[in-house]
């Protein structure tokens, strides 16, 4: 059920002298040994990616799109096998893993279509002269994907690169390698030329510092925490290499007095616990108008307490473990800090059970502004619910963090919605839903949440460079 773990370089699978254990976070049992790339493996991947770029950038957009669509179809066919691997290595409920496989395939399908729409333009010029603008693939991409969505996170990066005509070296997360391995297998079976997609694992700092300094690498694409994103951006700046950074979020949810309080609270509690809160767009800071505050808290806490926590393979489980052991003390510390500064722990707040990296669904109420969790993204199943006196108050609090990825509101008042669209500082704003993005919509952040967009008609922009051409009919 769990695949053999290998690196994929120059169209071949390989093991290495060093390896590390991959562990099921629900049982703490070892799933397999993951080979770690050394410098010579990375150099092989670079050489292969340079050759892959030469071949792939010359292919027609339709040929690229067709190959991507064949691979996506294989991922859909293999949905159950991939989903089971994801649940084993990540812990999420199997139903959510199945949805993730489909979402990953949709990212590929969307970008396959966009490959044929990377239009340039013609700029009016004097007779005998032509100005034209051409979008061309940027070059070899070094990409780094995290462990919270083992398949759809690598899918975003691979889809953007391959649709644009770039080759890619992806370092997927060592905690959850199988999702990316299944993608590489699908592309191998779909006939992608060798070297266009290369997959490595190992020491993240060693791999990023070696790859990013190479002249051949023209884009660094990263999803993960803001501190790591800042570090990689600094490395990239040495070589004036472009970056695409999808970083942390600390999403506000503004709950206005006119909303259906019960429906908003239940939606909030369910969405907060999805993927055990390990989502960069997870709704975290709920700012609730004081007129409905008590009712909202009561309904939210009641639904959070009903969350069925357990092994994602078991029927009926709504929330699995955290993906790795280091997150358990990190979350416990945020709760203790908030409690010490005067917050009420309405439910949860501690490790759940003795085996596996489980954390209780947690709701903190009336959290003071100086608590760490008001600034630090919990990236776990913790919701903060605080009262606000007005929309002004709510917007000011929503914007009071360095992050600006996703933001949400529950209201039907057009005047409130209009103001929030203008004033809430995020890249993705949703009203009456806690969904933030679809393959066809551009996704990304403002402020410390990063640069660039993935998906939408903007999704290939970062993977392409713009060339302006001036063609004069005669030598002038």
Per CB under 6 A, 148 contacts ligand NAD: yes
Binding ligand NAD (rule: CB under 6 A), the pick from 93, 154, 248, 427 is 248
Residue 360 bears catalytic tag:
no
Distance CA 376, CA 355 (A): 27
Residue 246 bears catalytic tag:
yes
b (16+ CB within 10 A) / e for 286-309: bbbbeebbeebbebbbebbeebeb
Per CB under 6 A, 177 contacts ligand NAD: no
Residue numbers 107-126 binding ligand NAD by CB under 6 A: none
Binding ligand NAD (rule: CB under 6 A), the pick from 67, 223, 259, 386 is 223
Q: Which window, 15-23, 246-254, 290-298, 338-346, contacts ligand NAD (CB under 6 A)?
A: 246-254
Binding ligand NAD (rule: CB under 6 A), the pick from 23, 49, 72, 173 is 173
Per CB under 6 A, 251 contacts ligand NAD: no
C-beta separation of 277 from 364 below 8 A: no
C-beta separation of 390 from 291 below 8 A: no
Residue numbers 318-337 binding ligand NAD by CB under 6 A: 326
Residue numbers 31-90 binding ligand NAD by CB under 6 A: none
Q: How far apart are CB 42 and ligand NAD at their closest, in Å?
A: 13
Q: Which of 45, 37, 34, 47 is nearest to 12 (CA)?
A: 45
- Which entry of 280, 318, 425, 454 is annotated as an active-site residue? 280
Q: Strand 7-9 vs strand 167-171: parallel, antiparallel, or unpaired?
A: unpaired
b (16+ CB within 10 A) / e for 343-367: bebbbbbeebeeebbbbbbbbbbeb
Phi and psi angles of residue 388, each rounded to the nearest 5 degrees, phi first: -130, 155
- Which entry of 109, 114, 174, 246 is annotated as an active-site residue? 246
Binding ligand NAD (rule: CB under 6 A), the pick from 224, 321, 349, 452 is 224
Per CB under 6 A, 343 contacts ligand NAD: no
Residue 314 Cα distances to 95, 98, 115, 317, 320, angstroms: 10, 14, 40, 6, 10
- What does the per-residue mask of binding to ligand NAD show for 275-294, with x meaning CB under 6 A? -----x--------------
CB-nearer residue toward ligand NAD: 100 or 246: 246
C-beta separation of 379 from 360 below 8 A: no
- What does the per-residue mask of binding to ligand NAD show for 377-406, with x meaning CB under 6 A? x-x---------------------------
Q: Which window, 133-141, 228-236, 312-320, 351-359, contacts ligand NAD (CB under 6 A)?
A: 228-236
CB-nearer residue toward ligand NAD: 359 or 379: 379
Per CB under 6 A, 176 contacts ligand NAD: no
Site residues for ligand NAD per CB under 6 A: 144, 146-148, 173, 204-205, 208, 223-225, 228, 231-232, 246-248, 280, 326, 377, 379
Q: What residues are labeled active site?
A: 246, 280
């Amino acid at each position: 059920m769990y695949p053999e773990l290998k690196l994929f370089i120059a169209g071949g699978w390989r093991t290495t002298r060093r390896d590390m254990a991959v562990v099921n976070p629900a049982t703490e049992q070892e799933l397999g040994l993951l080979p770690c790339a050394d410098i010579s493996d990375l150099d092989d991947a670079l050489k292969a990616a340079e050759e892959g770029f030469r071949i792939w950038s010359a292919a027609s957009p339709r040929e690229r799109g067709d190959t991507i669509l064949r691979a996506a179809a294989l991922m859909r066919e293999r949905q159950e096998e991939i989903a089971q691997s994801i649940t084993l290595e990540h812990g999420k409920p199997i139903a959510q893993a199945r949805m993730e496989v489909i979402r990953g395939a949709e990212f590929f399908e969307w970008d396959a279509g966009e490959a044929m729409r990377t239009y340039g333009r013609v700029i009016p010029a004097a007779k005998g002269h032509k100005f034209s603008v051409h979008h061309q693939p940027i070059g070899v991409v070094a990409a780094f994907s995290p462990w919270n969505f083992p398949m759809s996170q690598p899918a975003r990066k691979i889809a953007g690169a391959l649709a644009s005509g770039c080759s890619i070296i992806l370092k997927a997360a060592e905690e959850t390698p199988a999702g990316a391995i299944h993608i590489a297998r699908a592309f191998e079976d779909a006939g992608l030329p060798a070297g266009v997609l290369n997959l490595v694992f190992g020491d993240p700092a060693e791999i990023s510092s070696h790859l990013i300094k190479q002249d051949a690498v023209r884009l660094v694409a990263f999803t993960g925490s803001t501190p790591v994103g800042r570090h990689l951006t600094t490395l990239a700046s040495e070589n004036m290499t472009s970056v695409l950074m999808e970083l942390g979020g600390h999403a506000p949810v503004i709950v206005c007095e006119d909303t259906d309080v019960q429906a908003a609270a239940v939606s909030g509690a369910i969405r907060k616990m999805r993927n055990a809160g390990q989502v960069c767009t997870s709704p975290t800071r709920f700012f609730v108008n004081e007129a409905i505050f008590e009712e909202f808290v009561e309904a939210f806490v009641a639904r959070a307490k009903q969350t069925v926590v357990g092994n994602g393979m078991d029927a009926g489980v709504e929330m699995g473990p955290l993906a790795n052991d280091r997150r358990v003390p990190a979350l416990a510390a945020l709760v203790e800090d908030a409690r010490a500064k005067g917050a009420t722990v309405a439910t949860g707040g501690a490790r759940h059970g003795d085996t596996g990296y489980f954390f209780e669904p947690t709701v903190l109420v009336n959290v003071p502004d100086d608590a760490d969790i008001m600034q630090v993204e919990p990236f776990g199943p913790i919701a903060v619910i605080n009262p606000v006196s007005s929309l002004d108050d709510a917007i000011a609090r929503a914007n009071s963090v360095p992050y600006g990825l996703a933001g949400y509101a529950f209201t039907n008042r057009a005047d409130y919605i209009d103001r929030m669209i203008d004033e809430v500082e995020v890249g993705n704003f949703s009203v009456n839903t806690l969904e933030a993005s679809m393959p066809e919509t551009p996704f990304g952040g403002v402020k410390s949440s990063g640069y660039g967009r993935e998906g939408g008609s903007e999704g290939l922009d970062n993977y392409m460079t713009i060339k302006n051409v001036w063609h004069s009919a005669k030598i002038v």
